[in-house]
Structure 1
Protein backbone atom coordinates (compact mmCIF):
# COMPACT_ATOMS: atom_id res chain seq x y z
CA UNK A 1 0.00 0.00 0.00
CA UNK A 2 1.31 3.44 -0.87
CA UNK A 3 0.80 6.62 1.03
CA UNK A 4 -0.61 8.50 -1.99
CA UNK A 5 -4.17 8.57 -0.68
CA UNK A 6 -2.99 10.10 2.59
CA UNK A 7 -0.86 12.89 1.15
CA UNK A 8 -1.87 16.19 2.69
CA UNK A 9 -4.62 14.74 4.84
CA UNK A 10 -5.02 15.61 8.48
CA UNK A 11 -3.61 13.66 11.37
CA UNK A 12 -6.96 12.48 12.65
CA UNK A 13 -7.81 10.93 9.26
CA UNK A 14 -4.57 9.03 9.27
CA UNK A 15 -5.09 7.79 12.80
CA UNK A 16 -8.55 6.53 11.88
CA UNK A 17 -6.96 4.62 9.01
CA UNK A 18 -4.25 3.31 11.34
CA UNK A 19 -6.86 1.85 13.67
CA UNK A 20 -8.62 0.11 10.75
CA UNK A 21 -5.59 -1.40 9.02
CA UNK A 22 -3.99 -2.38 12.34
CA UNK A 23 -6.60 -4.45 14.23
CA UNK A 24 -3.84 -5.84 16.41
CA UNK A 25 -3.57 -2.47 18.13
CA UNK A 26 -4.95 -2.58 21.63
CA UNK A 27 -7.79 -0.14 22.39
CA UNK A 28 -5.58 1.63 24.91
CA UNK A 29 -3.01 2.32 22.20
CA UNK A 30 -5.66 3.65 19.82
CA UNK A 31 -6.93 5.95 22.55
CA UNK A 32 -3.37 7.05 23.25
CA UNK A 33 -2.85 7.83 19.56
CA UNK A 34 -6.07 9.81 19.47
CA UNK A 35 -4.94 11.89 22.45
CA UNK A 36 -1.61 12.44 20.73
CA UNK A 37 -3.40 13.60 17.60
CA UNK A 38 -5.48 16.06 19.57
CA UNK A 39 -2.29 17.55 20.99
CA UNK A 40 -0.44 17.56 17.65
CA UNK A 41 2.12 15.22 19.18
CA UNK A 42 3.20 13.79 15.82
CA UNK A 43 4.80 17.03 14.89
CA UNK A 44 2.27 18.99 12.87
CA UNK A 45 -1.23 19.09 11.40
CA UNK A 46 -0.29 17.27 8.15
CA UNK A 47 1.75 14.25 7.19
CA UNK A 48 3.75 13.80 4.01
CA UNK A 49 2.80 10.20 3.26
CA UNK A 50 1.84 6.97 4.95
CA UNK A 51 5.41 5.79 5.53
CA UNK A 52 6.21 9.10 7.19
CA UNK A 53 3.14 8.75 9.39
CA UNK A 54 4.00 5.18 10.38
CA UNK A 55 7.50 6.25 11.32
CA UNK A 56 6.25 9.13 13.44
CA UNK A 57 3.55 7.02 15.14
CA UNK A 58 5.96 4.24 16.05
CA UNK A 59 8.47 6.78 17.32
CA UNK A 60 5.70 8.27 19.44
CA UNK A 61 4.80 4.90 20.94
CA UNK A 62 8.44 4.33 21.87
CA UNK A 63 8.63 7.60 23.81
CA UNK A 64 6.85 7.07 27.13
CA UNK A 65 7.97 10.48 28.39
CA UNK A 66 5.18 12.18 26.44
CA UNK A 67 2.46 10.15 28.14
CA UNK A 68 0.55 12.57 30.31
CA UNK A 69 -0.56 12.06 33.89
CA UNK A 70 -4.12 11.79 32.62
CA UNK A 71 -3.14 8.88 30.41
CA UNK A 72 -1.70 7.07 33.43
CA UNK A 73 -4.73 7.65 35.64
CA UNK A 74 -5.90 4.35 37.21
CA UNK A 75 -9.07 3.03 35.65
CA UNK A 76 -10.92 2.86 38.94
CA UNK A 77 -10.16 6.42 39.98
CA UNK A 78 -13.40 8.29 39.37
CA UNK A 79 -13.36 10.94 36.69
CA UNK A 80 -14.75 14.36 37.44
CA UNK A 81 -18.36 14.02 38.47
CA UNK A 82 -18.14 10.24 38.90
CA UNK A 83 -19.03 8.67 42.28
CA UNK A 84 -16.38 7.24 44.55
CA UNK A 85 -16.23 3.43 44.67
CA UNK A 86 -17.68 1.22 47.39
CA UNK A 87 -15.62 -1.53 49.05
CA UNK A 88 -16.48 -4.61 51.09
CA UNK A 89 -13.70 -5.52 53.54
CA UNK A 90 -14.06 -8.84 55.35
CA UNK A 91 -12.61 -9.32 58.82
CA UNK A 92 -12.50 -5.58 59.35
CA UNK A 93 -13.57 -5.26 62.98
CA UNK A 94 -9.95 -5.10 64.20
CA UNK A 95 -6.32 -5.51 63.23
CA UNK A 96 -5.31 -5.42 59.59
CA UNK A 97 -8.90 -5.38 58.35
CA UNK A 98 -9.85 -2.37 60.45
CA UNK A 99 -6.75 -0.53 59.26
CA UNK A 100 -7.62 -1.32 55.63
CA UNK A 101 -11.19 -0.10 56.06
CA UNK A 102 -9.96 3.15 57.61
CA UNK A 103 -7.39 3.66 54.85
CA UNK A 104 -10.02 3.22 52.16
CA UNK A 105 -12.38 5.60 53.94
CA UNK A 106 -9.57 8.15 54.12
CA UNK A 107 -9.37 7.97 50.33
CA UNK A 108 -13.07 8.72 50.06
CA UNK A 109 -14.40 5.23 49.40
CA UNK A 110 -17.60 4.04 51.02
CA UNK A 111 -16.67 0.98 53.07
CA UNK A 112 -18.86 -1.90 54.18
CA UNK A 113 -17.20 -3.66 57.09
CA UNK A 114 -17.62 -7.24 58.24
CA UNK A 115 -17.10 -8.96 61.57
CA UNK A 116 -18.50 -11.71 63.74
CA UNK A 117 -20.85 -9.12 65.25
CA UNK A 118 -22.50 -6.10 63.68
CA UNK A 119 -21.16 -2.90 65.22
CA UNK A 120 -22.78 -0.17 63.16
CA UNK A 121 -24.99 0.57 60.18
CA UNK A 122 -22.19 -0.21 57.69
CA UNK A 123 -20.97 -3.36 59.45
CA UNK A 124 -22.32 -6.82 58.65
CA UNK A 125 -22.02 -9.95 60.77
CA UNK A 126 -21.32 -13.33 59.21
CA UNK A 127 -19.63 -16.60 60.15
CA UNK A 128 -17.44 -17.34 57.14
CA UNK A 129 -17.06 -20.97 58.14
CA UNK A 130 -20.69 -21.31 56.98
CA UNK A 131 -21.16 -21.25 53.19
CA UNK A 132 -24.75 -20.05 53.46
CA UNK A 133 -23.73 -17.20 55.77
CA UNK A 134 -21.01 -16.18 53.33
CA UNK A 135 -23.54 -15.98 50.49
CA UNK A 136 -25.87 -13.91 52.66
CA UNK A 137 -23.00 -11.58 53.49
CA UNK A 138 -22.59 -10.81 49.80
CA UNK A 139 -26.31 -10.24 49.32
CA UNK A 140 -26.50 -7.99 52.37
CA UNK A 141 -23.42 -6.06 51.27
CA UNK A 142 -24.92 -5.49 47.82
CA UNK A 143 -28.08 -4.18 49.47
CA UNK A 144 -26.05 -1.71 51.54
CA UNK A 145 -23.99 -0.72 48.51
CA UNK A 146 -27.16 0.17 46.61
CA UNK A 147 -27.49 3.22 48.88
CA UNK A 148 -23.90 4.41 48.36
CA UNK A 149 -22.71 6.86 45.72
CA UNK A 150 -21.62 4.16 43.27
CA UNK A 151 -24.63 1.95 43.96
CA UNK A 152 -22.61 -1.27 43.86
CA UNK A 153 -19.57 -3.03 45.27
CA UNK A 154 -16.56 -1.94 43.25
CA UNK A 155 -13.80 -3.37 45.45
CA UNK A 156 -13.65 -6.61 47.45
CA UNK A 157 -10.94 -7.06 50.07
CA UNK A 158 -10.75 -10.62 51.39
CA UNK A 159 -9.00 -10.20 54.73
CA UNK A 160 -10.91 -12.45 57.14
CA UNK A 161 -9.00 -15.44 58.40
CA UNK A 162 -8.19 -17.74 61.29
CA UNK A 163 -4.78 -18.87 62.56
CA UNK A 164 -5.36 -21.86 64.81
CA UNK A 165 -2.91 -24.64 65.60
CA UNK A 166 -3.61 -28.19 64.51
CA UNK A 167 -0.71 -30.44 65.58
CA UNK A 168 -0.40 -33.80 63.87
CA UNK A 169 -0.44 -35.39 67.33
CA UNK A 170 -4.15 -34.63 67.66
CA UNK A 171 -6.81 -37.19 66.90
CA UNK A 172 -7.64 -37.89 63.28
CA UNK A 173 -11.07 -36.32 63.68
CA UNK A 174 -9.73 -33.18 65.37
CA UNK A 175 -6.93 -32.69 62.84
CA UNK A 176 -9.28 -33.07 59.89
CA UNK A 177 -11.93 -30.80 61.40
CA UNK A 178 -9.35 -28.06 62.00
CA UNK A 179 -7.97 -28.48 58.49
CA UNK A 180 -11.42 -28.11 56.96
CA UNK A 181 -12.33 -25.12 59.14
CA UNK A 182 -9.09 -23.32 58.25
CA UNK A 183 -9.57 -23.83 54.53
CA UNK A 184 -13.24 -22.91 54.76
CA UNK A 185 -12.54 -19.54 56.39
CA UNK A 186 -9.19 -18.63 54.84
CA UNK A 187 -9.69 -19.89 51.29
CA UNK A 188 -13.16 -21.12 50.39
CA UNK A 189 -15.03 -18.09 51.73
CA UNK A 190 -12.63 -15.80 49.83
CA UNK A 191 -13.20 -17.86 46.69
CA UNK A 192 -16.96 -17.78 47.22
CA UNK A 193 -17.06 -14.00 47.62
CA UNK A 194 -14.63 -13.49 44.73
CA UNK A 195 -16.83 -15.60 42.47
CA UNK A 196 -19.92 -13.59 43.37
CA UNK A 197 -18.05 -10.33 42.82
CA UNK A 198 -16.61 -11.37 39.46
CA UNK A 199 -19.96 -12.71 38.27
CA UNK A 200 -21.65 -9.44 39.15
CA UNK A 201 -19.01 -7.34 37.41
CA UNK A 202 -19.12 -9.50 34.29
CA UNK A 203 -22.91 -9.46 34.11
CA UNK A 204 -22.95 -5.69 34.47
CA UNK A 205 -20.06 -5.11 32.09
CA UNK A 206 -18.31 -3.28 34.93
CA UNK A 207 -14.73 -3.09 36.17
CA UNK A 208 -13.80 -4.22 39.67
CA UNK A 209 -10.87 -4.87 41.95
CA UNK A 210 -10.06 -7.78 44.25
CA UNK A 211 -7.44 -7.53 46.99
CA UNK A 212 -6.66 -10.76 48.82
CA UNK A 213 -4.71 -10.65 52.08
CA UNK A 214 -2.69 -13.85 51.94
CA UNK A 215 0.49 -14.54 53.93
CA UNK A 216 4.22 -15.07 53.78
CA UNK A 217 3.29 -18.66 54.58
CA UNK A 218 2.05 -19.06 51.01
CA UNK A 219 5.70 -19.09 49.87
CA UNK A 220 7.80 -19.85 52.92
CA UNK A 221 5.50 -22.33 54.63
CA UNK A 222 4.56 -22.20 58.30
CA UNK A 223 5.08 -24.07 61.56
CA UNK A 224 4.45 -27.82 61.93
CA UNK A 225 1.12 -26.99 63.57
CA UNK A 226 -0.07 -24.89 60.64
CA UNK A 227 0.04 -27.02 57.51
CA UNK A 228 -3.54 -26.03 56.82
CA UNK A 229 -2.87 -22.30 57.10
CA UNK A 230 0.06 -22.37 54.67
CA UNK A 231 -1.97 -24.45 52.22
CA UNK A 232 -4.93 -22.08 52.40
CA UNK A 233 -2.80 -18.99 51.81
CA UNK A 234 -0.94 -20.60 48.92
CA UNK A 235 -4.32 -21.39 47.40
CA UNK A 236 -5.40 -17.79 47.84
CA UNK A 237 -2.34 -16.55 45.96
CA UNK A 238 -2.92 -19.03 43.13
CA UNK A 239 -6.57 -18.01 42.94
CA UNK A 240 -5.59 -14.34 42.72
CA UNK A 241 -3.25 -14.99 39.80
CA UNK A 242 -5.88 -17.07 38.01
CA UNK A 243 -8.53 -14.38 38.35
CA UNK A 244 -6.09 -11.71 37.16
CA UNK A 245 -5.21 -13.67 34.03
CA UNK A 246 -8.78 -14.66 33.26
CA UNK A 247 -10.52 -11.30 33.50
CA UNK A 248 -7.96 -8.54 32.91
CA UNK A 249 -9.45 -7.66 29.52
CA UNK A 250 -12.80 -7.10 31.24
CA UNK A 251 -11.31 -4.51 33.59
CA UNK A 252 -11.36 -6.88 36.57
CA UNK A 253 -8.07 -6.62 38.43
CA UNK A 254 -6.76 -8.85 41.22
CA UNK A 255 -3.92 -8.41 43.69
CA UNK A 256 -2.57 -10.34 46.68
CA UNK A 257 -0.61 -9.09 49.67
CA UNK A 258 1.54 -11.47 51.72
CA UNK A 259 2.30 -10.05 55.17
CA UNK A 260 4.72 -11.66 57.52
CA UNK A 261 4.14 -11.33 61.26
CA UNK A 262 1.99 -8.24 61.82
CA UNK A 263 1.31 -6.59 65.17
CA UNK A 264 -2.44 -6.90 65.64
CA UNK A 265 -2.31 -6.21 69.38
CA UNK A 266 -3.57 -2.66 69.09
CA UNK A 267 -0.26 -1.17 70.16
CA UNK A 268 0.92 -3.62 72.85
CA UNK A 269 3.91 -5.04 71.02
CA UNK A 270 5.14 -7.05 74.02
CA UNK A 271 1.88 -8.96 74.22
CA UNK A 272 2.00 -9.63 70.51
CA UNK A 273 5.56 -10.95 70.63
CA UNK A 274 4.68 -13.16 73.61
CA UNK A 275 1.78 -14.64 71.64
CA UNK A 276 4.17 -15.53 68.80
CA UNK A 277 6.96 -17.09 70.82
CA UNK A 278 8.76 -14.12 72.34
CA UNK A 279 11.36 -11.54 71.22
CA UNK A 280 13.43 -14.26 69.51
CA UNK A 281 10.93 -13.93 66.69
CA UNK A 282 12.68 -10.70 65.68
CA UNK A 283 15.98 -12.49 65.06
CA UNK A 284 14.53 -13.81 61.82
CA UNK A 285 13.41 -10.37 60.58
CA UNK A 286 16.23 -8.22 59.15
CA UNK A 287 14.10 -5.09 59.60
CA UNK A 288 14.13 -5.78 63.35
CA UNK A 289 10.40 -5.51 63.92
CA UNK A 290 7.12 -6.98 62.75
CA UNK A 291 4.87 -5.21 60.27
CA UNK A 292 2.19 -2.74 61.34
CA UNK A 293 -1.46 -2.99 60.29
CA UNK A 294 -1.22 0.50 58.83
CA UNK A 295 1.58 -0.66 56.52
CA UNK A 296 -0.53 -3.50 55.15
CA UNK A 297 -3.46 -1.11 54.89
CA UNK A 298 -1.45 1.35 52.80
CA UNK A 299 -0.59 -1.44 50.36
CA UNK A 300 -4.18 -2.66 50.20
CA UNK A 301 -5.53 0.85 49.62
CA UNK A 302 -3.06 1.34 46.79
CA UNK A 303 -4.14 -1.92 45.14
CA UNK A 304 -7.80 -1.07 45.63
CA UNK A 305 -7.65 2.38 44.13
CA UNK A 306 -4.39 3.61 42.62
CA UNK A 307 -2.45 0.61 41.32
CA UNK A 308 -2.14 0.82 37.52
CA UNK A 309 -4.01 -1.88 35.60
CA UNK A 310 -0.76 -3.43 34.37
CA UNK A 311 -0.05 -4.46 37.96
CA UNK A 312 -2.94 -6.93 38.00
CA UNK A 313 -1.83 -10.34 39.22
CA UNK A 314 0.90 -8.85 41.41
CA UNK A 315 1.70 -10.41 44.77
CA UNK A 316 3.20 -7.91 47.21
CA UNK A 317 5.34 -8.92 50.19
CA UNK A 318 5.48 -7.15 53.56
CA UNK A 319 7.67 -9.20 55.87
CA UNK A 320 10.70 -7.07 56.76
CA UNK A 321 12.87 -9.17 54.40
CA UNK A 322 12.30 -12.30 56.50
CA UNK A 323 11.50 -14.03 53.22
CA UNK A 324 12.75 -12.64 49.92
CA UNK A 325 11.74 -14.28 46.65
Structure 2
Protein backbone atom coordinates (compact mmCIF):
# COMPACT_ATOMS: atom_id res chain seq x y z
CA UNK A 1 0.00 0.00 0.00
CA UNK A 2 1.35 3.42 -0.95
CA UNK A 3 0.80 6.57 1.07
CA UNK A 4 -1.68 8.76 -0.85
CA UNK A 5 -0.86 12.30 -1.90
CA UNK A 6 -3.99 13.68 -0.21
CA UNK A 7 -7.02 12.40 1.62
CA UNK A 8 -4.80 11.13 4.41
CA UNK A 9 -5.85 10.74 8.04
CA UNK A 10 -3.71 13.05 10.19
CA UNK A 11 -3.48 13.51 13.96
CA UNK A 12 -1.85 16.76 15.12
CA UNK A 13 -1.19 16.94 18.85
CA UNK A 14 -1.28 20.34 20.55
CA UNK A 15 -3.28 21.92 17.72
CA UNK A 16 -5.28 24.48 19.70
CA UNK A 17 -3.23 27.43 18.46
CA UNK A 18 0.18 28.52 17.19
CA UNK A 19 2.19 26.01 15.21
CA UNK A 20 -0.25 23.16 15.80
CA UNK A 21 -3.05 25.21 14.27
CA UNK A 22 -0.85 26.11 11.28
CA UNK A 23 0.07 22.45 10.77
CA UNK A 24 -3.57 21.35 10.92
CA UNK A 25 -4.49 24.00 8.36
CA UNK A 26 -1.64 22.98 6.04
CA UNK A 27 -2.80 19.38 5.94
CA UNK A 28 -6.46 20.34 5.54
CA UNK A 29 -5.56 22.64 2.65
CA UNK A 30 -3.87 19.64 1.04
CA UNK A 31 -7.15 17.73 1.09
CA UNK A 32 -6.34 15.68 4.20
CA UNK A 33 -8.64 15.00 7.14
CA UNK A 34 -7.29 16.17 10.47
CA UNK A 35 -7.87 15.21 14.08
CA UNK A 36 -7.21 18.37 16.11
CA UNK A 37 -5.90 17.48 19.55
CA UNK A 38 -6.01 19.67 22.63
CA UNK A 39 -4.91 19.23 26.21
CA UNK A 40 -6.91 21.91 28.01
CA UNK A 41 -7.77 24.62 25.45
CA UNK A 42 -10.97 23.10 24.11
CA UNK A 43 -12.43 26.41 22.90
CA UNK A 44 -9.29 27.34 20.96
CA UNK A 45 -9.12 23.83 19.51
CA UNK A 46 -12.70 24.20 18.33
CA UNK A 47 -11.69 27.44 16.62
CA UNK A 48 -8.88 25.54 14.87
CA UNK A 49 -11.30 22.85 13.78
CA UNK A 50 -13.79 25.39 12.45
CA UNK A 51 -11.03 27.11 10.43
CA UNK A 52 -10.02 24.00 8.48
CA UNK A 53 -10.77 23.60 4.80
CA UNK A 54 -12.74 20.59 3.75
CA UNK A 55 -14.81 18.16 5.79
CA UNK A 56 -14.38 15.04 7.89
CA UNK A 57 -12.16 16.60 10.54
CA UNK A 58 -12.40 15.71 14.23
CA UNK A 59 -11.63 17.05 17.69
CA UNK A 60 -9.88 14.90 20.32
CA UNK A 61 -8.80 15.84 23.82
CA UNK A 62 -6.50 14.32 26.40
CA UNK A 63 -3.35 14.72 28.45
CA UNK A 64 -0.50 13.29 26.38
CA UNK A 65 1.60 12.81 29.52
CA UNK A 66 -0.92 10.27 30.83
CA UNK A 67 -0.30 6.87 29.19
CA UNK A 68 -3.94 5.82 29.17
CA UNK A 69 -5.16 9.19 27.90
CA UNK A 70 -2.50 9.22 25.17
CA UNK A 71 -3.54 5.79 23.95
CA UNK A 72 -7.19 6.74 24.06
CA UNK A 73 -6.77 9.92 22.03
CA UNK A 74 -4.86 8.10 19.29
CA UNK A 75 -7.59 5.47 19.16
CA UNK A 76 -10.34 8.11 19.09
CA UNK A 77 -8.59 10.00 16.30
CA UNK A 78 -8.17 6.84 14.22
CA UNK A 79 -11.79 5.84 14.75
CA UNK A 80 -13.07 9.32 13.86
CA UNK A 81 -10.96 9.53 10.71
CA UNK A 82 -11.32 5.92 9.64
CA UNK A 83 -7.64 5.16 10.20
CA UNK A 84 -4.35 6.96 10.68
CA UNK A 85 -1.69 7.81 8.11
CA UNK A 86 0.22 10.65 9.79
CA UNK A 87 1.03 11.68 13.34
CA UNK A 88 2.52 15.10 14.08
CA UNK A 89 3.90 15.36 17.61
CA UNK A 90 3.55 19.05 18.42
CA UNK A 91 2.20 19.07 21.99
CA UNK A 92 4.80 20.51 24.36
CA UNK A 93 5.39 22.79 27.32
CA UNK A 94 8.06 25.47 27.51
CA UNK A 95 8.14 27.19 30.90
CA UNK A 96 11.06 29.31 32.16
CA UNK A 97 13.26 27.89 34.93
CA UNK A 98 16.71 29.55 34.96
CA UNK A 99 18.93 27.31 37.10
CA UNK A 100 20.53 30.09 39.14
CA UNK A 101 17.27 31.59 40.37
CA UNK A 102 14.62 28.87 40.34
CA UNK A 103 13.77 27.35 43.75
CA UNK A 104 14.69 23.68 43.92
CA UNK A 105 11.14 22.39 44.41
CA UNK A 106 9.95 24.37 41.38
CA UNK A 107 12.99 23.20 39.40
CA UNK A 108 12.11 19.56 40.07
CA UNK A 109 8.44 20.07 39.25
CA UNK A 110 9.18 21.82 35.96
CA UNK A 111 11.71 19.21 34.87
CA UNK A 112 9.19 16.47 35.55
CA UNK A 113 6.53 18.35 33.62
CA UNK A 114 8.74 18.93 30.59
CA UNK A 115 9.87 15.30 30.48
CA UNK A 116 6.35 13.93 30.91
CA UNK A 117 4.81 16.07 28.15
CA UNK A 118 7.60 16.77 25.67
CA UNK A 119 9.37 13.41 25.73
CA UNK A 120 7.11 10.77 27.24
CA UNK A 121 3.97 12.15 25.57
CA UNK A 122 5.73 12.00 22.21
CA UNK A 123 6.85 8.44 22.93
CA UNK A 124 3.36 7.33 23.97
CA UNK A 125 1.62 8.81 20.94
CA UNK A 126 4.28 7.55 18.53
CA UNK A 127 4.16 3.96 19.68
CA UNK A 128 0.37 3.83 19.71
CA UNK A 129 0.11 5.42 16.27
CA UNK A 130 2.84 3.17 14.86
CA UNK A 131 1.05 0.06 16.10
CA UNK A 132 -2.13 1.30 14.39
CA UNK A 133 -0.22 1.82 11.14
CA UNK A 134 1.48 -1.57 11.32
CA UNK A 135 -1.71 -3.46 12.17
CA UNK A 136 -3.57 -1.89 9.23
CA UNK A 137 -0.67 -2.08 6.77
CA UNK A 138 -0.34 1.71 6.42
CA UNK A 139 3.14 3.00 5.40
CA UNK A 140 2.61 6.04 7.57
CA UNK A 141 4.62 9.02 8.70
CA UNK A 142 5.50 10.44 12.11
CA UNK A 143 6.86 13.98 12.29
CA UNK A 144 8.17 15.39 15.56
CA UNK A 145 8.46 19.07 16.41
CA UNK A 146 11.88 19.54 17.95
CA UNK A 147 13.82 22.76 18.43
CA UNK A 148 16.97 24.68 17.59
CA UNK A 149 17.40 24.86 21.36
CA UNK A 150 18.33 21.19 21.39
CA UNK A 151 21.64 22.20 19.78
CA UNK A 152 22.09 25.84 20.70
CA UNK A 153 21.21 25.55 24.37
CA UNK A 154 18.38 27.11 26.36
CA UNK A 155 19.85 28.84 29.44
CA UNK A 156 16.47 29.91 30.83
CA UNK A 157 14.62 26.82 29.59
CA UNK A 158 17.12 23.96 30.01
CA UNK A 159 14.50 21.23 30.41
CA UNK A 160 12.90 22.33 27.15
CA UNK A 161 16.20 22.13 25.29
CA UNK A 162 17.06 18.77 26.82
CA UNK A 163 13.71 17.19 26.10
CA UNK A 164 13.73 18.44 22.53
CA UNK A 165 17.18 16.89 22.04
CA UNK A 166 15.69 13.67 23.38
CA UNK A 167 12.77 13.99 20.94
CA UNK A 168 15.26 14.23 18.07
CA UNK A 169 17.03 11.09 19.31
CA UNK A 170 13.73 9.28 19.79
CA UNK A 171 12.71 10.11 16.24
CA UNK A 172 15.93 8.69 14.84
CA UNK A 173 15.56 5.49 16.86
CA UNK A 174 11.98 5.12 15.66
CA UNK A 175 13.05 5.75 12.07
CA UNK A 176 15.36 2.74 12.21
CA UNK A 177 12.87 0.57 14.08
CA UNK A 178 9.84 1.39 11.93
CA UNK A 179 11.48 1.60 8.52
CA UNK A 180 10.97 -2.13 7.84
CA UNK A 181 7.24 -1.47 8.22
CA UNK A 182 7.32 1.33 5.65
CA UNK A 183 6.86 4.02 8.29
CA UNK A 184 9.01 7.14 7.97
CA UNK A 185 9.92 9.22 11.02
CA UNK A 186 11.54 12.66 10.93
CA UNK A 187 11.84 15.80 13.05
CA UNK A 188 12.00 19.51 12.45
CA UNK A 189 14.12 21.82 14.59
CA UNK A 190 12.69 25.33 14.26
CA UNK A 191 14.40 28.46 15.48
CA UNK A 192 12.40 31.42 16.73
CA UNK A 193 9.14 31.81 14.82
CA UNK A 194 6.20 34.15 15.29
CA UNK A 195 3.05 33.04 17.09
CA UNK A 196 0.54 34.83 19.27
CA UNK A 197 2.34 33.45 22.34
CA UNK A 198 5.65 35.17 21.55
CA UNK A 199 4.20 38.36 20.03
CA UNK A 200 4.89 40.39 23.22
CA UNK A 201 8.56 39.40 23.12
CA UNK A 202 8.91 40.47 19.50
CA UNK A 203 7.20 43.78 20.26
CA UNK A 204 9.22 44.35 23.42
CA UNK A 205 12.78 45.51 24.16
CA UNK A 206 14.37 42.22 23.06
CA UNK A 207 12.53 42.16 19.73
CA UNK A 208 15.37 43.72 17.77
CA UNK A 209 17.91 41.23 19.07
CA UNK A 210 15.62 38.32 18.22
CA UNK A 211 15.17 39.56 14.66
CA UNK A 212 18.93 40.03 14.33
CA UNK A 213 19.58 36.34 15.09
CA UNK A 214 18.99 35.56 11.42
CA UNK A 215 20.84 37.21 8.53
CA UNK A 216 17.42 37.66 6.93
CA UNK A 217 16.58 40.10 9.72
CA UNK A 218 13.34 38.40 10.65
CA UNK A 219 11.93 35.40 12.46
CA UNK A 220 10.23 32.46 10.86
CA UNK A 221 6.53 31.94 10.48
CA UNK A 222 4.37 29.08 11.66
CA UNK A 223 3.28 28.57 8.06
CA UNK A 224 6.90 27.99 6.98
CA UNK A 225 7.39 25.34 9.65
CA UNK A 226 4.04 23.75 8.80
CA UNK A 227 5.02 23.51 5.13
CA UNK A 228 8.16 21.59 6.08
CA UNK A 229 6.15 19.28 8.33
CA UNK A 230 3.71 18.55 5.52
CA UNK A 231 6.56 17.72 3.15
CA UNK A 232 8.21 15.37 5.66
CA UNK A 233 4.86 13.59 5.94
CA UNK A 234 4.52 13.26 2.16
CA UNK A 235 5.12 10.16 0.02
CA UNK A 236 8.15 11.86 -1.55
CA UNK A 237 9.88 12.25 1.81
CA UNK A 238 10.36 8.60 2.73
CA UNK A 239 14.09 8.90 2.09
CA UNK A 240 14.24 11.76 4.59
CA UNK A 241 13.31 9.35 7.38
CA UNK A 242 15.66 9.81 10.34
CA UNK A 243 16.48 13.40 9.50
CA UNK A 244 16.38 16.39 11.83
CA UNK A 245 15.58 19.35 9.58
CA UNK A 246 16.88 22.74 10.71
CA UNK A 247 14.44 25.60 10.10
CA UNK A 248 16.10 28.65 11.61
CA UNK A 249 16.96 31.08 8.81
CA UNK A 250 20.71 30.48 9.28
CA UNK A 251 20.47 31.78 12.85
CA UNK A 252 22.33 28.71 14.10
CA UNK A 253 24.46 26.43 11.95
CA UNK A 254 25.34 22.94 13.11
CA UNK A 255 28.59 21.27 12.11
Aligned-residue Cα RMSD (Å) equals: 2.1
1:245 and 2:179 matched: no
TM-score (norm 2): 0.87
Which of the pair is proportionally richer in strand? 2
How far off its partner does 1:85 sit?
1.3
Q: How do 1:1-325 residues align onto structure 2 when only pairs under 5 Å count? A: 75-78=2-5, 84-115=7-38, 116=40, 117=42, 119=46, 122-145=58-81, 151-168=82-99, 169-222=101-154, 224-265=155-196, 271-274=200-203, 277-325=206-254
Q: Does the CA contact (< 8 Å) of 1:256 and 1:314 recur in 2?
A: yes
In structure 2, what is the Cα distance between the partners aligned to 1:226 and 1:138?
A: 29
Question: What is the rounded CA distance, in whole Å, between the counterparts of 1:244 and 1:283 in structure 2?
Answer: 35
Listed one character per residue, the Cα deviations across residues 204-258 of structure 1 (whole Å, up to 9, x for unaligned) are 3331100101100111111x22110011000110011111112212101011001
Compared with structure 1, are the counterparts of its residues 122 and 233 closer, same or farther at alpha carbon in structure 2 (3 Å cutoff)?
A: same
Change (3 A) 1:250 1:130: closer
Please tell me whether Structure 1 or Structure 2 has the larger radius of gyration of its CA atoms: 1
> 1:275 & 1:129 partners in 2: Cα distance?
33
Cα deviation 1:261-296 (Å, max 9, x = unaligned): 010128x95x34146933222222212111100000
**2:8, 2:78 → 1: CA distance?**
13
Q: Distance in 2 between matches of 1:255 and 1:303?
A: 7
- In the alignment, which residue of structure 2 is the partner of 1:51? none
Cα offset for 1:309?
Answer: 1.7
Cα contact 1:219–1:234 (8 A) shared by 2: yes
| Structure 1 residues 278 and 125, CA gap change in structure 2 (3 angstroms) | same
Could you say what secondary structure the match of 1:307 adopts? helix
The CA deviation at 1:306 is: 4.1
- Unaligned residue ranges in structure 2 (runs of 5+): 50-56
Task: Call closer, same or farther: CA 1:276–1:226 in 2, change over 3 Å.
Answer: farther
Decide whether the 8 Å contact of 1:288 with 1:320 is kept in 2: no
Cα pair distance change 1:301/1:276, threshold 3 Å: farther
Structure 1 unmatched ranges of 5 or more: 1-73, 146-150
Q: What is the distance in 1 between the residues matched to 2:205 and 2:159? A: 18
Alignment: residue pair count: 240
The farther-off stretch of 160-169 and 294-303 is 160-169
Give the match's secondary structure for 1:284: coil
**SS at the partner of 2:209?**
helix
Task: Summarize deviations over 1:286-322 as a string: whole Å, max 9, x none.
Answer: 1211110000011011111243321111111111101
